[in-house]
Amino acid sequence: MTLSLYIHIPFCSSKCAYCDFYSVPLKKTDSYNLQKKLIDALLIETETRLSVLEKVSLQTIFIGGGTPSILNPDLLSNFLIRLGKITAGLCKNNIEFTTEANIGSCTEDFLDAASSGGINRLSLGVQSFDTSNLEQLGRKCGTADIFDSAAEIRSSWPHSFSIDLISGLNRNYIEDLEKAVRLNPDHISAYQLTVEDGTPLHADITAGKKKRPSDTLQSSAIRGTCSFLKKSGYSRYEISNYSRPGMESRHNTRYWQMQSYLGIGPSAVSSFYDQAPITRTENIRDVIKYIDAISKGDNDDLRSTEILSDFDFLVEHYLMGYRMTAGIDETIFQERFGKHSSFYIPETIAGWQRKGLFCRSRSALTSRGLMFLDRMLADVYDELSSNKNP
């Protein structure tokens, strides 16, 4: 089976106010030992889980977090060498191998270790170059040297390079985009801020200490971002992702095309779409319990397993596929469901096509239609629920 590998590093220097990923602040005391135990556990889990899968062909590898760049560079080198041995013979040629990194911890030593270990794509979390935005997000790094630091990374990193931004926090969002483009990345992700329940940002907004970004501003930021990046040579290929030609994230594209992936590490999710039953697993969201369960070989404590129903599997193809400007991958869809994607939702497609918001030949929303993605998906869900005929 073709597979992507995701490895979760659950450490950050501090917790950002909007973040609901599983990550814990890395304390100075015991930091080295904890990192070492984690990478040993990650390698055991990788080797064990790959060994039970048949004919694996790894298409992409992604080290995410958390903040992978916080890892001790020597430990990262050691980890990458051992990971290379485990995955030798399984990786396709020219595999895309990404690591995430954050400005404060993306040192020369980290970049050297990453590059020597075979990583060929860097995804840098900048989020904003604006002090008030960074404060709103609870990001601890300052803006004084953020641009210089990113510029230095750009000049010393010889491989592909992507920047993550959060767009539409204030009216000056174009300035962030201008600064990002000046760094000449191959790829830019410009996400909208989602205020997740349970985060400090949500609590501050509820208590009236901070303002929720306005929907109107966010909508106009999507349009403004799209048009600015298009003029700057970046094509939109997913609702929040833009790239130079041929530099799309292959790893994330595989998620949106509903291709199988193996997730390693605390909180990591895996989805196996090429086997019956279709299965999704989620690892425990606790780094200490994760390490402990791995050392005991205790899978019950380590992860939960869900069997996806045919209906949920079908729904997810629409939810993920319509995020992309290229739409649903009909080859994959027809292999799995035996029909064109329009077969299951004829009324929704006809209605959205009449409004000029959907292109049937591409199985995709138009660029204007993408502004209403959530509404389209609600219609898709309602029609599929009323038919329940997959």
The one among 2, 21, 147, 337 contacting ligand SF4 by CB under 6 A: 21
Question: 359 - beta bridge partners?
Answer: 364
Whole-number Å distance between alpha carbons of 66 and 11:
5
Q: Is 284 in the site for ligand SF4 (CB under 6 A)?
A: no
Q: Is 154 in the site for ligand SF4 (CB under 6 A)?
A: no
Q: Calculate the alpha carbon distances from 236 to 17, 36, 269, 321 in Å.
A: 28, 39, 27, 14
Q: Tell me the window of 9-17, 300-308, 332-340, 353-361 that interacts with ligand SF4 (CB under 6 A).
A: 9-17
Nearer to ligand SF4, 23 or 136 (CB): 23
Nearer to ligand SF4, 187 or 236 (CB): 187
What are the start-end ranges of the H helices in the chain? 31-51, 73-87, 108-116, 131-137, 146-156, 173-182, 200-206, 215-231, 250-256, 287-296, 299-302, 310-321, 330-337, 346-354, 373-387
Q: Please, which residues have CB within 8 angstroms of residue 378's CB and are 6 or more apart in sequence?
A: none
The one among 15, 285, 336, 360 contacting ligand SF4 by CB under 6 A: 15
Q: Provide, rounded to whole angstroms, the least separation between the CB of residue 113 and ligand SF4.
A: 19
Q: Provide, rounded to whole angstroms, the least separation between the CB of residue 100 and ligand SF4.
A: 8
Nearer to ligand SF4, 251 or 317 (CB): 251
Binding track, positions 89-108, relative to ligand SF4; x by CB under 6 A: -------------x------
SS3 237: strand
Q: Is 10 in the site for ligand SF4 (CB under 6 A)?
A: no
Whole-number Å distance between alpha carbons of 349 and 344:
10
Cβ 254 vs Cβ 240: under 8 Å: no
Q: Is 23 in the site for ligand SF4 (CB under 6 A)?
A: yes
Say how far residue 19 (Cα) sits from the centre of its chain. Answer: 13
Q: Is 66 in the site for ligand SF4 (CB under 6 A)?
A: yes
Q: Which residues bind ligand SF4 (CB under 6 A)?
A: 12, 15-16, 19, 21, 23, 65-67, 102, 125
